[in-house]
């Protein structure tokens, strides 16, 4: 069982959905190098409930609309037509066209007139704390229904229902899953001296604390099956009379955590193999820092690197096919990104530019890596092909005082289109995402917290 919010959402098909032709040839071809933004008319929700309760319930419809708008805006596939530009009064029309409702149905011509390529018309009502949502997605030029569904769930799960609908929109138009039901795991500051592990929705909402060690907990990582995370926490050891950086495994299904590695020194950088059965980590002993592989018991420990000459080897990241490990090492004098096979052999240096390259992260297709590169006093996010070619800078930002900001800790979205990262451009380390071409960038958190080493979950539903 993967990590997810346990809710009951009833979904049914209202009318025929995507045709066989649309499945073979999606309306939006995401295989192109650059996808044009399609004009979208996202019509505000119509209230379908008891008129006397409208004033009480309308705020829920507005909140639902805003969640969908944010989801679809950040997807970068759409440009949205402002409601003020609508020619037809949507409030006095039904959710279906004149062909289905001659008396109150809408006119496709009115929406084609303002240049809409796609249109979403929907309505809601609330009955005994149940949010009931009816939605239709149309292709305006063809006067065609693409998707028609009804959703029902607790009013407390309104955000999840909205994200589910956004996912269905993306699946219908592109043939691929959206990432709106995914999560982030992150180390978040709770006070000046402590950090804890939190899980949250992909847009930064619905934050839930996972660790409660009252110390510094950091470097979380998802398992590919979404069931587990690893993280490191600096716990006090009575026998050693000091704090030690110990590696934990947390199981969302059993709501249970246990120690994987607690050797004296640093046990960190845990990352999973593709089958979610083994963990790679960094263990530092007496100044040396090397990479190891272990099982969930922590007892079967295999050393993968050995220096050379006391070099630092950290931040392992396993490729999606399980054959290659990317990591950061200063064996050449400066920390750079390297790769090796799963036995620790065939070591290859991947990056040569800058003075400090760290935090490698694989794309879901295994064709490239993202990393944080330090140069001229700050970090930025870069990508590089798996063969070491085609390095590209994705971020550049300045703080309020004009100095260049740090952009760190990259993690790919499960569809490979965006990279999650943390940036201190506002004075706090907040969460952002950037598209892999660097063209679209969005801030996701807006608070006075600091977020470190975020990781994007796999698909959870």
**Cα angle for residues 246, 224, 232 (degrees, 5° grid):** 10
Greatest alpha-carbon span in the chain: 82
Closest CA to 147 of 47, 11, 10, 13: 13
- Are 267 and 259 contacting, i.e. CB atoms less than 8 angstroms apart? no
- At 24 the three-state DSSP class reads helix
Decide: residue 410, CB within 10 A, 0-12 exposed, 13-18 middle, 19+ buried: buried
Alpha helices in 324-448 (DSSP H): none
DSSP states of 68-90: HHHHHHHHTSEEEPPGGG-SS-G
Contact 150, 430 (CB under 8 A): no
**Total residues belonging to the chain:** 461
Distance CA 170, CA 435 (A): 16
Domain boundaries of the chain, sorted by first residue = 10-174, 183-456
pTM of the model: 0.93
Beta-carbon neighbour count of residue 93 at 10 Å? 19
In angstroms, the CA 177 to CA 26 distance is: 12
183-456 and 10-174 share a CATH fold? no
Torsion angle, alpha carbons of 176, 181, 182, 186, to 10: 150
Q: Tokens standing for 42?
A: 């996202």
Mode of pairing for the β-strands spanning 324-329 and 336-341: antiparallel
Tens-binned pLDDT, residue by residue, of the chain (461 aa): 344 433 456 666 655 444 444 455 688 887 654 668 999 999 999 999 999 999 999 999 999 999 999 999 999 999 999 999 999 999 999 999 999 999 999 999 999 999 999 999 999 999 999 999 999 999 999 999 999 999 999 999 999 999 999 999 999 999 999 999 999 999 999 998 999 999 999 999 999 999 999 999 999 999 999 999 999 999 988 877 889 999 999 999 999 999 999 999 999 999 999 999 999 999 998 778 999 999 999 999 999 999 998 899 999 999 999 999 999 999 999 999 999 999 999 999 999 999 999 999 999 999 999 999 998 899 999 999 999 999 999 999 999 999 999 999 999 999 999 999 999 999 999 999 999 999 999 999 999 999 999 999 999 86
Q: Which helix (H) or strand (E) holds 187?
A: strand 183-189
Residue whose C-alpha is closest to residue 420's, from 178, 184, 220: 184
- CATH class of the structural domain 10-174: alpha beta
> Residue 313 and residue 294: Cα distance in Å, rounded?
16
Tell me if 37 sits within 8 A of 77, measured CB to CB. Answer: yes
The helix (run of H) or strand (run of E) holding residue 454 is strand 451-456
Q: Dihedral angle at the C-alpha atoms of 114, 117, 123, 129, nearest 10 degrees?
A: -130
Residue range 183-456 in CATH 2.120.10.30:
yes
DSSP string, 126-190: EETTEEEEEEEEEETTTTEEEEEEEEEEEGGGHHHHHHHHHHHHHHHHHSS--STT-EEEEEEES
């Amino acid at each position: 069982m993967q990590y997810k919010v346990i809710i009951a959402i009833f979904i049914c098909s209202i009318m025929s959905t995507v045709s066989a032709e649309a499945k073979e040839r999606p309306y939006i071809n995401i295989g192109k190098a650059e996808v044009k933004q399609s004009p979208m008319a996202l019509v505000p929700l119509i209230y379908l409930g008891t008129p006397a309760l409208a004033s009480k319930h309308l705020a829920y419809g507005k909140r639902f609309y805003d969640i969908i708008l944010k989801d679809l805006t950040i997807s970068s596939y759409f440009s949205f037509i402002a409601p003020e530009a609508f020619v037809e009064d949507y409030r006095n029309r039904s959710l279906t066209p004149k062909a289905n409702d001659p008396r109150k149905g809408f006119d496709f011509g009115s929406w084609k007139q303002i240049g809409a390529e796609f249109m979403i018309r929907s309505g809601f009502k609330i009955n005994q704390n149940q949010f009931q949502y009816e939605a239709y997605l149309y292709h305006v030029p063809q006067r065609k229904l693409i998707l028609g569904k009804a959703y029902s769930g607790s009013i407390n799960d309104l955000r999840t229902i909205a994200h589910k609908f956004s996912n269905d929109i993306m699946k219908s138009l592109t043939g691929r899953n959206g990432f709106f039901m995914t999560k982030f795991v992150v180390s978040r500051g709770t006070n000046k001296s402590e950090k804890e592990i939190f899980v949250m929705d992909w847009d930064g909402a619905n934050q839930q604390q996972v660790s409660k060690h009252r110390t510094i907990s950091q470097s979380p990582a998802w398992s590919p099956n979404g069931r587990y995370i690893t993280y490191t926490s600096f716990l006090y050891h009575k026998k050693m009379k000091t704090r030690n950086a110990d590696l934990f495994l947390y199981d969302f299904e059993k709501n249970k955590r246990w120690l994987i590695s607690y050797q004296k020194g640093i046990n960190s950088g845990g990352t999973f193999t593709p089958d979610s059965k083994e963990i790679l980590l960094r263990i530092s002993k007496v100044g040396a820092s090397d990479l190891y592989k272990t099982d969930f018991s922590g007892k079967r420990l295999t050393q993968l690197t050995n220096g050379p000459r006391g070099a630092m080897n950290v931040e392992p990241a396993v490729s999606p096919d399980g054959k290659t490990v990317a990591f950061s090492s200063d064996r050449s004098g400066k920390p750079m990104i390297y790769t090796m096979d799963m036995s620790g052999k065939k070591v290859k240096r991947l990056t040569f530019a800058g003075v400090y390259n760290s935090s490698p992260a694989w794309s879901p297709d295994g064709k490239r890596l993202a990393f944080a590169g330090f140069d001229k006093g700050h970090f930025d996010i870069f990508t590089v092909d798996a063969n070491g070619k085609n390095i590209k800078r994705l971020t550049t930002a300045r703080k309020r005082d004009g100095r260049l900001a740090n952009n760190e800790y990259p993690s790919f979205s499960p569809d490979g289109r965006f990279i999650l990262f943390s940036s201190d451009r506002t004075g706090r380390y907040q969460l952002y995402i950037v598209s892999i071409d660097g063209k679209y960038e969005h801030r996701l958190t807006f608070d006075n917290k600091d977020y470190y080493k975020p990781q994007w979950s796999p698909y959870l539903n």
